[in-house]
Amino acid sequence: MASLDLTADIVTLTRAVVDVPSESLEEAELADAVEAALRTCDHLQVVRDGHTIIARTELGRDERVVIAGHIDTVPLNDNLPSRLEGDTLWGLGTCDMKGGVAIALSLAAELSEPVRDVTWVFYEAEEIAAVHNGLGRIAREHPEWLQGDFAILMEPSNAGVEAGCQGTMRVEIRTTGERAHSARSWMGHNAIHDLAPVLATLAGYSPRTVDIDGLTYREGLNAVGVRGGVSGNVIPDEAVLTVNYRFAPDRDEEAALAHLREVFSGHELTVTDSAPGALPGLGRPAAAAFVEAIGGEVGPKFGWTDVAKFTLLGVPAVNYGPGDPRYAHKADEQVPVEHLHRVHDRLREWLSGH
Amino acid sequence: MASLDLTADIVTLTRAVVDVPSESLEEAELADAVEAALRTCDHLQVVRDGHTIIARTELGRDERVVIAGHIDTVPLNDNLPSRLEGDTLWGLGTCDMKGGVAIALSLAAELSEPVRDVTWVFYEAEEIAAVHNGLGRIAREHPEWLQGDFAILMEPSNAGVEAGCQGTMRVEIRTTGERAHSARSWMGHNAIHDLAPVLATLAGYSPRTVDIDGLTYREGLNAVGVRGGVSGNVIPDEAVLTVNYRFAPDRDEEAALAHLREVFSGHELTVTDSAPGALPGLGRPAAAAFVEAIGGEVGPKFGWTDVAKFTLLGVPAVNYGPGDPRYAHKADEQVPVEHLHRVHDRLREWLSGH
């Protein structure tokens, strides 16, 4: 069984976490190691649910912050074990998001008396279908475990604060026709041709940009898949276009769908996937204080992340973690060593009060 | 080994031919039976090339007619052995085109002194990729075997004469973009959206109708397939639309492609499949005499058939055979018994002179 030395320097600890493979649904070994290491800390109350581990300080502080990271990764892509080259640490999970997990583990062990109570959350199965997501399960079954004044999700954000997140909705637009031999096409009705006005709408669509709390969110409406055709000599009787709408967090899912129904009026829409956005909530005192303490510019989060789960629980949340998200899920996944040190230092300062 | 009694009545002989399975590339048993039966006829000169058998009369007549049929079928679809129910014969190949093959075999054996010399052609592998086609191979390697004043292809044509055939061309129209995460779609370029003007062109296209030799050919230009998309959260960098153009035989393949380039100007076209049409040639004396003798209305052939191979050899050709082509390649494949008798009788009359 793997074991983790939480007192090691942050690069060494990150490598140790990275080098325990933990593809989604295969997090048992890493979860065991995380649990065992945290249980050695007398200042933490540790609970485990599945492969999700939660460790809390109970110091009676005025404020509680929830700091969360997922311990699973996408599948191996010939990019383990980790490799340190100069200023860069390479390997599966270095960016998404074992760098953030290692920082959280390090500070959970080190800070026995933080100025804010902390709920450390290490959860499973973020990279696969939502039904498996450990944070989602806790939010449904034990929402009280996630309560706090503020939450930080340590997804890669280039070591800067990214606030809120955009929502995402996928719909299928299906056209139906009538089959015929293509040598006698007038006896049928071509479903692919019926996509013409839908694609024209998409090509001519102007997405919104929305200012919220001083951040500018940019929406997007895009075809992400199209399929149709029976064989090379048959007029197709069905075509399906999959459209992905990324919407600013001033719209909820209902408003997003209403917008799509208006844009594609006259067409049948089937929602295949949907997740709400999260408002940045930077006006809340806890969030404002965090941003103030961390310093630097705050940006909007365009991609969807689990911060939305905290928003649904009424907890303002931001993304803050090491790594450039463009390297997530890539064979050349990597994290700058400087990010690991910077995020580690800044979080320690904010939590320890000096 | 199967054997065929060519003196049996036409329904019995058709059933016998149908009941020797001969899916494309597996024609050996049926080809052997056809060859053996024809070799018993002293008035025929028989040659075999692969599983293609050619039997000729050599009576020194003024005119030679080539009568051809393919002996292969599409794969079994739980529709053998043959089944006679009332006025209908059911089973794989009854329509496409063992009814026609049986009529040709019957007349080849019976008519020892036809008023026109006849070249009977029973060929393999029409239902699969063109490279296997027995008639195509003979046309390339022994074109003199197919020479004649007129040719009849016994493909199903509802026991009426269908003249010429339309050409067919398939092209792929490919659009290219640039991948990006769909949460940051402005960093990419959506290839599916770029199909919008292509589909608009197709949806608004008015196909030609063309009169040739008193027949009206109807063209068609249709999308028969579309594909694109990387995953649900990626802006797609490629989309491919497959378009099938069925063109009247006044256009050759070059003219057809030039037309497509004009219609889709500005887009890259890749020809994936092409076959020329065949002019009806009803002005030629042999063809006119045949139509006159057979009687009934002549229609245009919209689908592509091997008559085009005769056209390329300079031999006017028509489609004339029992069966409704709509039942070809169907599980409920069938031929009306009346078609078998009618085509059998008419051809006998025309070839025997009474």
- pLDDT, tens digit, for every residue of B162-180? 998 999 999 999 999 998 8
Q: Is residue A79 part of a domain?
A: yes
Residue A294: predicted pLDDT: 87
Q: Is residue B252 part of a domain?
A: yes
Q: Which domain holds residue A223?
A: 167-275
Are B244 and A226 an interchain contact pair (Cβ–Cβ within 8 Å)?
no
Block residue for tokens 């109708």: B209
- Phi/psi at B299 (5° precision): -115, 165
**CB A69, CB A17: distance < 8 Å:** no
Closest chain B CA to residue A325: B181
**Sign of the CA dihedral running B338, B343, B349, B352:** negative
Last residue of a domain, one of A236, A260, A275: A275
Block residue for tokens 């579309």: B226
- A4: tokens are 């983790």
Q: Is A102 in the same domain as A229?
A: no
**CB B187, CB B193: distance < 8 Å:** no
> Is A126 in the active site?
yes
Please report the residues numbered 196 through 215 in chain B whose beta carbons come closer than 8 angstroms to any beta carbon of chain A. Answer: 196-197, 199-200, 202-203, 207
Q: Is B269 in the same domain as B284?
A: no
Please report the residues numbered 9 through 68 in chain B whose beta carbons come closer than 8 angstroms to any beta carbon of chain A. Answer: none
Which domain CATH number covers A247? 3.30.70.360
Residue B354: predicted pLDDT: 75
In the set A72, A155, A219, A237, the catalytic residue is: A72
Give how many domains chain B has, as a whole number.
2
Measuring CA to CA, how many Å separate A215 from each of A163, A280, A326, A348, B266? 8, 8, 21, 26, 40
Are B229 and A229 an interchain contact pair (Cβ–Cβ within 8 Å)?
no
3-state SS, B297-347, equals CEEECCCCCCHHHHHHCCCCEEEECCCCHHHCCCCCCEEEHHHHHHHHHHH
Q: Does B88 touch chain A (CB under 8 A)?
A: no
Q: Which of A159, A152, A126 is nearest to A22 (CA)?
A: A126
ipTM: 0.82
Q: Does A235 touch chain B (CB under 8 A)?
A: yes
Q: Which of B168, B167, B187, B171 is nearest to B179 (CA)?
A: B187
Mutation target to probe the B interface, by most B beta carbons within 10 A, among A95, A224, A237 is A224
In the set B124, B126, B162, B194, the catalytic residue is: B126
Last residue of a domain, one of B247, B275, B303: B275
Block residue for tokens 């074992």: A98
Q: Which of B269, B128, B288 is nearest to B201 (CA)?
A: B269
**pLDDT tens across the length of chain A (354 residues):** 799 999 999 999 999 999 999 999 999 999 999 999 999 999 999 999 999 999 999 999 999 999 999 999 998 989 999 999 999 999 999 999 999 999 999 999 999 999 999 999 999 999 888 889 999 999 999 999 999 999 999 999 999 999 989 999 999 999 999 988 888 899 899 999 999 999 999 999 999 999 998 899 999 999 999 999 988 888 999 999 999 999 999 999 999 999 999 999 999 999 998 999 998 888 888 788 899 888 778 999 888 889 999 988 989 889 999 999 889 888 899 999 999 999 999 999 999 987
| Segments of chain B scoring below 70 in pLDDT | none
Q: Is A244 in the same domain as A341?
A: no
**For B278, which DSSP code?**
B
Q: Is B155 in the same domain as B25?
A: yes
**Sign of the CA dihedral running A146, A150, A153, A154:** negative
Residue A213: predicted pLDDT: 87
Q: How many CA atoms lie within 13 A of B99 on its CB side?
A: 35
CA B8 – CA B16 distance, rounded (Å): 10
A to B CB pairs, distance under 8 Å: 161
Q: Is B151 in the same domain as B300?
A: yes
Are B186 and A234 an interchain contact pair (Cβ–Cβ within 8 Å)?
no
In the set A126, A127, A219, A237, the catalytic residue is: A126
Q: How many CA atoms lie within 13 A of B135 on its CB side?
A: 31
For chain A, how long is the longest CA-to-CA vector?
A: 80
H/E run at residue B91? none
Block residue for tokens 């008396």: A113
Residue B286: predicted pLDDT: 79
Closest partner residue to B183 (CB to CB) among A185, A192, A303 is A303
Residue A107: predicted pLDDT: 98
Q: Is B296 in the same domain as B208?
A: no
**CB A50, CB A75: distance < 8 Å:** no
Last residue of a domain, one of B258, B275, B292: B275
